[in-house]
Amino acid sequence: MSFQNEFSADTMKCFITLKTRENKTNGYFKVTGKNMAASYDGNKLISLNLSDTTYTLSDKPISGQHTRTLAYWAQYIGANLKQPGYVKSLKDTLINNTVYSHTRITTYDAITNGQHCYTFAELLINKNTLLPYSITSKVRGIGGDGEVGGWVEEHLYSNYSLNPAGFPDLTITSVPANFKAPVHKTYQLLAKGTKAPGIKLYDAAGKTITLEAMKSKMVLLNFTGLGCPHCVNAVQLMNQLKSQYNDLVIISAYPFDKHDAIDKFDKKFAVKYLSYTTESDVKQMFPYDGIPTFYLIDKDGAIVKSYTGYYQKLKDEMVEQLNTMQ
């Protein structure tokens, strides 16, 4: 992701039946990774979270990158071959003495608001077996908040086994007995006038500070995370507020990230305010339902206003509120 410093990766084991008894264009499949598993039997997709033994159900065969099997890509290629100008053959690629055809499928390419936006996939296909070696998607565009972002998604394929003995029956799938449906909690943000809870914040040296130490100052507290594009987009906003209001203390609190990764992030995006880690269960005291979530706290340590998410008018709303607190 354009808002992450490192790639996230997993190795998936995949079983797939391309030929189906019904008109199911994505075939049947079962994939298993480090923390997740998913199976599609032609009628329902069962996704398992192996970390907390919860499951979700869907009638669609696609729920994310991990379920983009070879059947998905076959359908994707077939659909786009019918679009003139979408497909371009590039120079063959030689990898480990094997020749691969190199093809690019571009489904979007335009200049939007002065930004080059695009969506394309590049495929390396073994010219002898006609099986993929890699499929790489690249996307760049403008989000609903007006910010530019994108990502690279790479699938590498190896250890093919065609029609192996003992292949599982993929036409029937069920939820394992020890798995349960996830519990979705909603969190009511703290109301105006509520005394800000005394949560602990930790700097890179392990030193602890509390919000009580910030009394007599206006505080903008931001609950955030490194894997969130809107959290990245909010950096420029908070940098601007830091420059505009000398008596405003801005704190980004990270419930789940580590200081070494936070430090890289702060340097990459020229963060001008304070970044701390905090306990992962902090939302029990300081509720937030999604990130980023912002709390404006007055000089007496009371909540003045809360904001959820990042959007184009957020700065105007915060400036209006801060001007009343001066």
Three-state SS string across 201-240, please?
A: EECCCCCEEEHHHHCCCEEEEEECCCCCHHHHHHHHHHHH
- What are the b/e assignments for 246-265, b being 16+ CB within 10 Å? eebbbbbbbbeeebeebeeb
Q: Is the peptide bond before 292 cis (omega within 30 degrees of 0)?
A: yes
CA-CA distance, 46 to 53, in Å (whole number)?
A: 12
Question: With b meaning 16 or more CB within 10 Å and e meaning fewer, what string describes 195-218?
Answer: ebbebebbeeeeeeeebeebeeeb
With vertex at residue 229, the alpha carbon angle to CA 114 and CA 220, rounded to the nearest 5 degrees, is 110
Class of residue 303 by CB neighbours under 10 A (exposed 0-12, middle 13-18, buried 19+): buried
pTM above 0.75, yes or no: no
Predicted confidence at residue 20, as pLDDT, reads 62
Class of domain 13-156 as given by CATH: mainly beta
Q: Which residues pair with 142 in a beta bridge?
A: 148
Three-state DSSP class for residue 322? helix
In eight-state DSSP terms, residue 83 is S
Q: How many CA atoms lie within 13 A of 150 on its CB side?
A: 13
Q: How far apart are CA 270 and CA 273, in angstroms?
A: 9
pLDDT in tens, the chain (326 residues): 766 667 789 999 999 988 766 565 568 899 999 999 999 988 889 999 999 999 999 988 888 888 888 888 888 888 888 887 899 999 999 999 999 999 999 999 999 999 999 999 999 999 999 999 999 999 999 887 777 888 999 999 999 999 999 999 998 888 999 999 988 777 899 999 999 998 999 999 889 998 888 888 999 999 999 877 788 889 999 999 999 999 999 999 999 889 998 999 999 889 999 999 998 889 889 999 889 999 999 999 999 999 999 988 999 999 999 999 87
CB-count exposure of residue 243 (10 Å: 0-12, 13-18, 19+): exposed
Joined together, the tokens standing for residue 230 give: 């809107």
200-325: which CATH topology? Glutaredoxin (3.40.30)
Cβ neighbours, 10 Å, residue 78 = 10
Domain ranges in the chain are 13-156, 200-325
